[in-house]
Amino acid sequence: MVKLNLDWDQVALCRELAEAIVHPIERYIAMHTTVAVERAVLRLFGFEGDIEVEKGHSHPVANLIIDKIPKESLRDGVASVIAAIKKNNPKANQPKVAELILKGEIDFAKLEILPADKSTAILKPWLDSAIRHLDRMRYKKEEMRDLGESPKPLKYVMLGTGRVQEDVEQARVSAKQGADVIAIVRSTAQSLLDYVPSGETSEGYGGTFATQENFRILKEALDELSHDEKRFIRFAHNSSGLCMPELSVMAAFEGVDYLLNDVLYGTLYRDINIKRSIIDQNFSKIITGRAGIVIHTGEEIPVLSGKSQNAHQNVLANHFINEQFAKSVGMRDDLIGIGHAFEMDPKDQDSLLQELAMAQLMREIFFRSPIKYFPSSRYKKGDVYFNQVIDTLFHMVALMTGQHIQLLGTPAGHFSGSQMQDRFEALKAAQSVFKAGRSLYNEIEFVTNGKVMRHARTVLDMTAKYLRRIKNRGFFEAVEEGLFADLPRSKDGGRGCEGVIGKSRRYANPFIVTPTSNGR
Amino acid sequence: MISDGFVQLSFTIPMALGPKTKMAVHCLAEKMNLQEIKIIHLEQIDTEKTFCILQGVCEAEVDVEKITENPEPELVYDFQHINGYIQEKIKRQIVVMGASLGRDSMPVFLDTLFNVSGYMGQAGLETYPQFKAINYRADLDMPMLAKKIADLQSDAILVSKVSTRRDDPVIDLRKFLRELEKTPGVPQHLVKICIGPRLNEQKAKDMGFDMGFGPGTVPNQVAGFIAQEMCKRLAL
């Protein structure tokens, strides 16, 4: 519903500017790969599991293989290397191929790399099996939707105890109390690990490790709960960090519904090299798009960074840029779930009105996106009673602006992590507020040229200016100068930079040529 | 009345809401030595879980006169408080550096203190407007790091060394202090902090550091400590 009387030419201009920012980067991406992308390709081809390298220490097969292949050969893509090995050993299955590589029986210098189409032909059975798996997960999500859904906003809760079985138990409790989305918080700083741990985990730090087995356990439990509760209870996880492509593959294979996948998150939050991040997110989106996963971006960055005085245009600009990155791999609009967060200092006069303006602005501009509305915890303190007031204000804004998903803040969640009673309080409050104000969205209009409309228009105008500045500087340069969230990040610095590889002319990655729009 | 001992508690007990629940909560509160117990809310939140809120009177008393000093440094200020404090007292940005020593070091702990993402919901030092936070991670060797400290006139340094060998960190950390002494131009007031999984205040002070932070340290603690130390050193 259109309520802000926006200048739609200005919106179109913002989109054009974002496209102009992203376009040169697309070319850069097309010419490069990363160790994480190649490991993800291996995982897609079924190279799973760990190998014990010394007593008590296991490494993922995918990491071991990529580490073993000389960088010069990696430039051709791991798919080309595997295809060349398969050509000489037609009967070799994945463990056999892994063994040949890891035992040093392959002379990479002498390996005959085939043209991309020949490589793809050799790998066809493995490729087809991966694509079939991804497609199956997409169909399954569509089936699950037939179970029914709660009225919007969907109630999104976060938990992560470190022990996956405990998470299952807490997820069950929250689902029974009305949660529609269960998001698992990852162990602190997992995004900095350059490998994905494996197996069921029973300890974590401030969260639960993302592993394929943990994904499987939680998804199985949530599917069962969905059938019990007769509504689709979705599973959300996070793929940001040095292993974004691999985590996306695992999430896709195990049927994760929502995945955090932001272009800038790793770079700004964790100082991950921007080039690495940009290439990784691109391949991730190809996979998640195919598997029908909704991605959410992490727009709380400029809000939380603490230095931005005028974070509103930064946030909106980030949305436009993230949208273009997603579109550049052909993602459907309904899978581009923007994550939207603002700070609302309840002490400021009319802060609620500004928040209303921003929330409505997002809703109108990205009207097809399943926006995740994120109440900021920045102004929450130890006063758990007052925190309920802040959350309720955000609930009201979500209702008044017709949001799709409401991430539920909890009275003490930012202090003591995930306490069951805390989530219970949050769900109880959200249930009542949402019910009490169910039709508010359809009943509300804003005063023409009032404070809400004026704020929305100002932010939109400033966003266009800000995007133009980024476009004129160039994306990488803008990152270097700290135009995003006032956090300058060198384009050749940060973590994971050494994992960026220039592609050779013979480079093959059969998953990239497979159009994601195929199954529409 | 100020000293009425009134308390209000909320918690979840592992039992369904039934005839015995109220009594069970009452007994529990009695065991906490509460008087005049009033159970104001009981609600079953799952098959075997009940959420309770109760009020009561706690008759325990504390003699404030007898409290001398807190054995653990309590420096948990909040973000705004720390920034305001620095702005008011020091009137300039504090330069703080972070670095991991040694080749097999793991800068992850350091990252959680510096990065925006931070730890336990608290944003890292680089988000503080009143800090100029530079995290070198494992990029510099010791002489280079000491030189950087001198060149950029750093106010505080956080070093970490996580090693697989037990005594290794201590040795390296001492070496770093000697390196600092050798390097000309290192600010006199430099606040030296070491962080690591087996470190605490005592161990750090024994080695010659000003402070040591162990596991579970949140960015605010570090920021608060640096701000306070700076004030002491600059005699403000």
Give A266-292 pLDDT, tens digit per residue.
Answer: 888 778 899 999 999 999 999 999 999
Contact in structure between A284 and A36 (CB atoms under 8 Å): no
Nearest to A499 by CA among A198, A279, A329, A288: A279
| Separation CA A226–CA A291 (nearest Å) | 19
When pLDDT is cut at 50, 70 and 90, the band that residue B4 belongs to is confident
The DSSP result for chain B, as a single string, is -TTS-EEEEEEEESS-SSTTHHHHHHHHHHHTTEEEEEEEEEEEEETTEEEEEEEEEE-----GGG----SS------HHHHHHHHHHHT-SPEEEEEEE-STT--THHHHHHHSSS-BTTB--GGG-TTEEEEE-TTS--HHHHHHHHHHTT-SEEEEE---SSSSHHHHHHHHHHHHHHHSTT--TT-EEEEE-TT--HHHHHHHT-SEEE-TT--HHHHHHHHHHHHHHHTT-
Chain B residues whose beta carbon lies within 8 Å of the beta carbon of residue A192: 108, 111
Write down the pLDDT at residue A491.
87
Query: What average pLDDT does range A183-194 have in this prediction?
Result: 84
* Identity of the residue in B49, B126, B135 whose CB atom sits nearest the CB atom of A420: B49
Interface test with B, best of A176, A190, A269 (most B CBs within 10 A): A269
**Lowest-pLDDT choice from A39-48, A496-505, B86-95:** B86-95
Instruction: For chain A, say whether B140 makes contact (Cβ under 8 Å).
Output: no
Span A135-151, pLDDT tens digits: 999 999 999 999 999 99
Contact in structure between A427 and A177 (CB atoms under 8 Å): yes
When pLDDT is cut at 50, 70 and 90, the band that residue B221 belongs to is confident
Instruction: For chain A, say whether B10 makes contact (Cβ under 8 Å).
Output: yes
A/B interface, count of CB pairs below 8 Å: 62
Write down the pLDDT at residue A470.
95
Say yes or no to pLDDT of A306 above 50. Answer: no
Write down the pLDDT at residue A489.
84
Residue A181 CA: distances (Å) to CA of A37, A415, A419, A435, B31: 28, 22, 17, 18, 39
Name the strands in the sheet holding A294-296, side by side, starting at the edge strand that comes first in the sequence: A336-337, A294-296, A258-260, A234-238, A181-184, A154-159, A405-407, A372-375, A339-342
Query: Considering only alpha carbons, which residue of chain B is nearest residue A486?
Result: B127
Question: Considering the entire predicted model, what is its pTM?
Answer: 0.82
When pLDDT is cut at 50, 70 and 90, the band that residue A520 belongs to is very low
Residues whose CB is less than 8 angstroms from the CB of residue A89 and which lie 6 or more positions away in sequence, other chains included: A96, A97, A100
- Asked casually if ipTM beats, i.e. exceeds, 0.90, the reply is no
Query: What average pLDDT does range A39-48 have in this prediction?
Result: 96
Write down the pLDDT at residue A86.
94
- Give the residue with greater pLDDT, B134 vs A231: A231
Write down the pLDDT at residue A415.
60
Q: Is A328 exposed, middle or buried (0-12, 13-18, 19+ CB in 10 A)?
A: middle
Say yes or no to pLDDT of A34 above 60. Answer: yes
Radius of gyration of chain B (CA): 24
Write down the pLDDT at residue A347.
75
Min Cα–Cα distance to chain A from B23, Å: 20
Write down the pLDDT at residue B67.
80
Instruction: For chain A, say whether B9 makes contact (Cβ under 8 Å).
Output: no
Write down the pLDDT at residue B121.
67
When pLDDT is cut at 50, 70 and 90, the band that residue A304 belongs to is low
Write down the pLDDT at residue B108.
65
- Give the residue with greater pLDDT, B37 vs A345: B37
* Identity of the residue in A269, A417, A421 whose CB atom sits nearest the CB atom of B10: A421
Span B56-78, pLDDT tens digits: 999 988 888 888 765 555 555 78
- Give the residue with greater pLDDT, A414 vs B129: B129
Min Cα–Cα distance to chain B from A209, Å: 15
> B-contacting residues of A 98-117, CB under 8 Å?
none
Dihedral angle, C-alpha A341, A343, A349, A353, nearest 10 ° = 0
Say yes or no to pLDDT of B165 above 50. Answer: no
Residue with tokens 């990852």: A186
**What HEC string does A351-362 produce?**
HHHHHHHHHHHH
Whether residues A269 and B135 touch (CB distance < 8 A) is answered with no
Nearest to A405 by CA among A422, A430, A428: A430
Per-chain mean pLDDT for chain A: 89
Instruction: For chain A, say whether B40 makes contact (Cβ under 8 Å).
Output: no
When pLDDT is cut at 50, 70 and 90, the band that residue A179 belongs to is very high
Q: Is A240 exposed, middle or buried (0-12, 13-18, 19+ CB in 10 A)?
A: buried
Query: What average pLDDT does range A242-253 have in this prediction?
Result: 96
Write down the pLDDT at residue A308.
44
Whether residues A424 and B127 touch (CB distance < 8 A) is answered with no
Interface test with A, best of B76, B117, B135 (most A CBs within 10 A): B117
Say yes or no to pLDDT of A518 above 70. Answer: no
Instruction: For chain B, say whether A305 makes contact (Cβ under 8 Å).
Output: yes
Chain A residues whose beta carbon lies within 8 Å of the beta carbon of residue B119: 188, 206
Chain A residues whose beta carbon lies within 8 Å of the beta carbon of residue B116: 268-270, 301, 304-305, 485, 487
* Identity of the residue in B45, B119, B135 whose CB atom sits nearest the CB atom of A173: B45
Say yes or no to pLDDT of B81 above 70. Answer: yes
Helical axes A78-88 vs A94-102, angle rounded to 10°: 100
Q: What percentage of chain A has pLDDT greater than the value 70?
A: 94
Contact in structure between A229 and A175 (CB atoms under 8 Å): yes
Query: Considering only alpha carbons, which residue of chain A is nearest residue B135?
Result: A271
* Identity of the residue in A269, A415, A421 whose CB atom sits nearest the CB atom of B117: A269
Span B23-47, pLDDT tens digits: 999 999 999 999 999 999 999 988 8
When pLDDT is cut at 50, 70 and 90, the band that residue A307 belongs to is very low
Write down the pLDDT at residue A441.
93
Write down the pLDDT at residue A136.
97
- Give the residue with greater pLDDT, A410 vs A341: A410
> A-contacting residues of B 65-124, CB under 8 Å?
78-79, 108, 111-112, 115-117, 119-121, 123
* Identity of the residue in A270, A417, A424 whose CB atom sits nearest the CB atom of B115: A270
Query: What average pLDDT does range A317-335 have in this prediction?
Result: 92
Q: What percentage of chain A has pLDDT greater than the value 90?
A: 70
Residues whose CB is less than 8 angstroms from the CB of residue A211 and which lie 6 or more positions away in sequence, other chains included: A196, A197, A198, A199, A200, A201, A250
- Give the residue with greater pLDDT, A97 vs A339: A97
Chain A residues whose beta carbon lies within 8 Å of the beta carbon of residue B108: 189, 192
Nearest to A408 by CA among A371, A374, A441: A374
| Separation CA A460–CA A267 (nearest Å) | 25
Instruction: For chain A, say whether B48 makes contact (Cβ under 8 Å).
Output: no
Per-chain mean pLDDT for chain B: 83
When pLDDT is cut at 50, 70 and 90, the band that residue B166 belongs to is very low
- A249 residue type, one letter: V
Nearest to A406 by CA among A464, A340, A453: A340
Span A467-511, pLDDT tens digits: 999 999 999 999 998 887 777 788 888 889 999 999 999 999 999
